[in-house]
């Protein structure tokens, strides 16, 4: 089916009080696994490609995004394509050309006023192309070691930031942390509700891989509308590849990459069945 605009999936989640799940990919196998899981769960999702993944593939985003778009178009599930944590304005402004319906523009390393100015300018340009824009005030806990999971977004500052930048969604710090391999983070559910009431755009949770399922379900109830997974899938992929290599003495990478792909599909489907909304009516 054609790529679905991220805005359409998010609008449906806002209306239904549910959340859209976004899954970060690194390889083609990840994209194939996510598409398979979405078909099995009869669920929409967002396939996300981070700036770090782009760098891994030689700083050219086109091959991986083209492959992900082809997988999505060949799927029977409603899938959107998203550029995640992009710091480079030239890259983010290529979103439409690259087939993406949304971006997360990350100016959070900059001083606050510069973050606002650059994000507002980029958002205005992207809106001209019909691109849905996500951003954040400051770095979510754990990324690049700048903040811990104790970082918190202030509701009043969040409201001011959304008004000043015109973004379509806000990533917030409420207790999660990037790159967690154990699911023991504790989310501040009262803060999620306060942020929901303070801003008029959907809230986004980064670092969801370290959050227990019950906390994620509660976060959706309290107002979280987009849930991002990355490390959870990479951990499943890596465990499966290690196990496959223990039992395989050959040299064909398809033998162990297939095991990784299957593991990502299973992990994705599990999260979809637990958390994702039903697809919107045609």
Q: Which residues are catalytic?
A: 84
Instruction: Say which residues have a Cβ less than 8 Å from residue 206's Cβ, sequence separation at least 6.
Output: 136, 140, 143, 171, 176, 178, 228
DSSP 8-state secondary structure symbol assigned to residue 63: H
| φ, ψ (nearest 5 deg) of residue 169 | -160, 155
Please state, in angstroms and rounded to a whole number, the distance separating the CA atoms of residues 92 and 47: 16
Residue 112: closest CA among 60, 165, 190: 165
Please state, in angstroms and rounded to a whole number, the distance separating the CA atoms of residues 50 and 121: 21
**Which spans in 143-247 are helix H?**
155-165, 189-198, 213-222, 231-246
Please report the DSSP string for 30-54 in residue order.
HHHHHHHHHHHHT--EEEEEEHHHH
């Amino acid at each position: 089916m054609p790529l679905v605009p991220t805005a359409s999936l998010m609008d449906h989640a806002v209306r239904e009080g549910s959340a859209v799940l976004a899954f970060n990919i690194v390889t083609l196998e990840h994209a194939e696994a996510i598409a398979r899981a979405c078909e099995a769960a009869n669920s929409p999702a967002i396939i996300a490609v981070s700036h770090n993944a782009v760098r891994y593939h030689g700083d050219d985003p086109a091959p991986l995004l083209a492959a992900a778009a082809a997988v999505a178009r060949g799927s029977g599930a409603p899938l959107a394509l998203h550029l995640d944590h992009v710091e480079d304005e030239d890259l983010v402004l290529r979103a439409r050309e690259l087939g993406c319906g949304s971006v997360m523009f990350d100016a959070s390393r900059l001083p606050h006023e510069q973050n606002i100015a650059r994000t507002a300018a980029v958002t205005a340009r992207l809106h001209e192309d019909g691109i849905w824009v996500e951003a954040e005030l400051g770095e979510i806990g754990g990324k690049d070691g700048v903040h811990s999971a104790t970082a918190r977004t202030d509701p009043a500052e969040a409201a001011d930031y959304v008004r000043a930048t015109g973004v379509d969604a806000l990533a917030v710090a409420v207790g999660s942390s990037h790159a967690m391999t154990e699911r023991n983070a504790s989310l501040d559910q009262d803060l999620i509700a306060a942020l929901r009431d303070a801003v008029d755009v959907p809230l986004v949770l980064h670092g969801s891989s370290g959050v227990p399922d019950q906390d994620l379900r509660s976060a959706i109830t309290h107002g979280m509308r987009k849930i991002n997974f990355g490390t959870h899938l990479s951990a499943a992929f890596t465990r499966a590849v290690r196990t496959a290599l223990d039992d395989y003495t050959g040299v064909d990478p398809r033998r162990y990459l297939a095991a990784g792909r299957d593991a990502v599909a299973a992990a994705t489907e599990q999260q979809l069945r637990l958390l994702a909304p039903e697809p919107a009516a045609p």
